[in-house]
Structure 1
Amino acid sequence: MTDQARESALQEAAIAALRRGEAAVARAALQDMVAPPPMLLAQACNRTSDWDGEAAALQHILREHPRDLPALLAMGQNALRRGDEREATRWCRAAVAQAAATGAPPQLQPMLLQAQAVMANASARFEDHLSAAISDLPALPRITQATDLLLGKSQLFLQQPSMFYFPGLPQRAFYERAEFDWIAPIEAMTGDIVAELDAVRAGAPDFAPYVETPSNGPAPNNPLRDDPSWGAYYFWQGGAPVADHAARCPAVMAALALAPMPVITGRSPMALWSLLKPGTHIQPHHGLLNTRLICHLPILTPDGCALRVGAETRAWRQGEMLIFDDSVEHEAWNRGIETRIVLLFEIWRPEIHPEEREALTRLFQAIDLFGPAQIDTGG
């Protein structure tokens, strides 16, 4: 019998023994081979509870093929049987990532589900472990956010403006009302603004669509394009007041005069009533710039409406300003049964110095003069 024929006969004998449930016989046959197939050897070791032998056979496979999914999954189970949960989690995480990248055949699905369960259990114990370490401390929002990121419970959202990025600004989704001394006087005018809104909507409850198809350019890629479900009633548009709207709403204009809105020819100020009808969802998107903050003074605030900026979601409350960075991914929805309306306007980022604001104003005006000005479309 040739050496090759002998090796083939021993391998077939080992396979047959495994099928009969005679793992020790299979392993003896494999040990007589010069080069036993590593996965077959791993299976024989597994069924004889030789965890070290199984690990050695699997490592042989992974040295040649580091992303071999069956071997990765088997290594996770092997480490678990040896009582090393941390190592098991490492192998399971690698296996799940590989399956996500390349897919997994049906016969590996049970092992893949086991690997996911190992990861979930380890994550829960790790969270309990971390929570215990800081359980005697007061609530600290930044510590909570950092811990959620570490645990994979939250996603990291950063400024990604679609047109212009200004470096060195803090990565904050929301700013708080108490940080701005001009907000309280505006909030105090909410009642007068509500009255003006009621008078305007008595004759025309709907507004023009927030996103409209331009007459001389490509159509914005937005599912709410030309849809009044997301409506706009402008007071300042393209840096100029909308005269008839401003005349009808002196309280709105007086409130806006208190805010540090940018003044940029052809671009800013920008201020409007933003309307969102029931069942409307503004899809996740990024604004044009990170040099500004968007302010919402809530006017009509039914239940079921909210704004997500980054990883944080807040509801509107009438007369309580929301201030956020719209260069961070954000979305809004109205899942209620009544229309939501806010007074929306932009302000300079407070961290930008006066001389930088002057330079930015010149830059933005030069950009717009060079070619068609980019406009916010919610896309």
Structure 2
Amino acid sequence: MSSAEPKTPAGFPSEAEADARLTADRFDIIALIAKADRRREAGDRRAANAYYSAAIRTAAARPSSDPAVATEIARAHVAVTWLADLFRQTLIDGMRAAGFTREQQHPRFRKSLDMMFGDVPRPAEYRQFPQKPMAHYYPDMAHVEFADTKPWDWVAQLEAVFPDMQREALSLLAQHDGFQPYMKMANARPQQDHHGLLENADWSTLHLWQNGAAVDEHIARCPNIYRAVMDHVPLCHIGPRAPSVMLSLLRPGAKIPPHSGMLNSRFICHLPLVVPPDCGFRVGGSTIEWQEGKVIAFDDSVEHEAWNNSAYDRLVLIFDIWRPELSQSERDQITAMFDIVDNYR
């Protein structure tokens, strides 16, 4: 482990100055590193790592001939290494405290940590659309685009109460109140525009469960939808990360560009509530049209996209479940890991 925390050069921009410069130019490398330095000094190491890493990526994509920039990028690399060592030890210690020493970890989970730490590479996938989770790769998961939902008893139970759910959905669409852009501006991390969707109401959501808790004011507007999910669905609970139970609104003519999700240890499920013609959904090499009242499940770590080519709103209920092949022990270990990660500062 690195012996000493990196130091910020004298006279480097303050956090307020870095924020102002990033507002003017989000690719300002010195401002990204200054923001990282100030977050590190404040004890927010996760944010610091995000900003150092953003600076390194930006420098690789937009090379600068300025020697001062080269010096600071070299320092950013040192800082990222120091932070990685610190995070690794924090995670090892935390898993041990949670009762999961390396010897007690499930082999697949242990392998996932080795990949996270960079000790072993992810296995090569010789396919056009591999699993590419952005947060945590769980090894030896069968490649799935759309999952077979027929063996799951809860699917029929949920679909049986669809008419009541759809009535609430139509009422919500008549008002449009409470829906917020899915991609929200946030200063806590480096910001990307994601194909013009940042603060764009074309793709909006109404959360019923978010950040580990129920959203009571939204549930009051669609209690049947919320109760149906809670009564029938084996949701994936991972602290504030999951589940997300939300209504996803895609406006007429809108598209959600190709992207990949955070985890491959879960499936994302859709229950289409209001779907006009000319709406579609692709996961990997498979494309479907949603059918109102029919649940689909898919691995969102595989590239996917959606579109609404109609003149009407599309509304889909979204929630997440564990992949069924994961044992309870594996689920407990993944949950414990993310509890450590989410409390790491």
**TM-score between both structures, scaled by the size of structure 1:** 0.55
Question: Which structure 1 residue ranges, 5 or more long, are not aligned?
Answer: 1-154, 372-379
Superposed CA RMSD in Å reads: 1.7
Letter in 1 for 2:165: I
- How far apart, CA to CA, are the structure 2 residues paired with 1:280 and 1:184? 30
Judge conservation of contact 1:240–1:268 (CA < 8 Å) in 2.
no
**Which aligned pairs between 1:42-81 and structure 2 lie closer than 5 A?**
none
2:261 aligned with 1:291: no
Q: Any idea what the Cα deviations from partners look like across 1:32-81, whole Å, max 9, x if unmatched?
A: xxxxxxxxxxxxxxxxxxxxxxxxxxxxxxxxxxxxxxxxxxxxxxxxxx
Match for 1:225 among 195, 198, 208? 198
Are residues 1:200 and 2:200 paired?
no
SS of 2:170's equivalent? Answer: helix
The one of 158, 163, 174 equivalent to 2:135 is 163
Contact in 2 for aligned 1:240/1:269 (Cα 8 Å) = no
TM-score by structure 2 length?
A: 0.61
User: How many residues end up aligned between the 2 structures?
Assistant: 218
What residue in structure 1 maps to residue 240 of structure 2? 266
- CA–CA distance in 2 between the matches of 1:329 and 1:200? 30
Asked if 1 retains the 8 angstrom alpha-carbon contact of 2:210 and 2:243, the reply is: yes
Secondary structure of the structure 2 residue equivalent to 1:289? coil
Could you say which residue in structure 2 is the equivalent of 1:320?
294
1:201 shift after superposition:
3.2
Q: Secondary structure at the match of 1:186?
A: helix
The structure showing larger relative contact order (alpha-carbon pairs under 8 Å, at least 6 residues apart) is 2
Check the 8 A contact 2:203/2:248 in 1, yes or no.
yes
Which residue does the alignment assign to 2:311?
A: 337
* Structure 1 counterpart of 2:209: 236
Give runs of aligned pairs for residues 168-207 of structure 1, distance below 5 A. 168-204=140-176, 207=179
In the alignment, what sits opposite 2:228?
A: 255
Name the SS for the 1:182 alignment partner: helix
Pair 1:278 & 2:267 matched: no
Is this contact kept in 2: 1:275–1:342, CA < 8 A?
yes
Q: 2:335 aligns to what? A: 361
Give the drift of 1:354. Answer: 0.6
**Cα offset for 1:365?**
1.2
Give the share of equivalent positions with the same residue, in percent: 39
Amino acid at match of 2:184: E
Give the distance between the partners of 1:347 and 1:367, measured in 2 at CA. Answer: 20
Larger Rg: 1
Structure 2 regions of 5+ residues with no counterpart? 1-126
Between Structure 1 and Structure 2, the one with more helix by share is 1
Aligned-partner residue type, residue 260 of structure 1: P
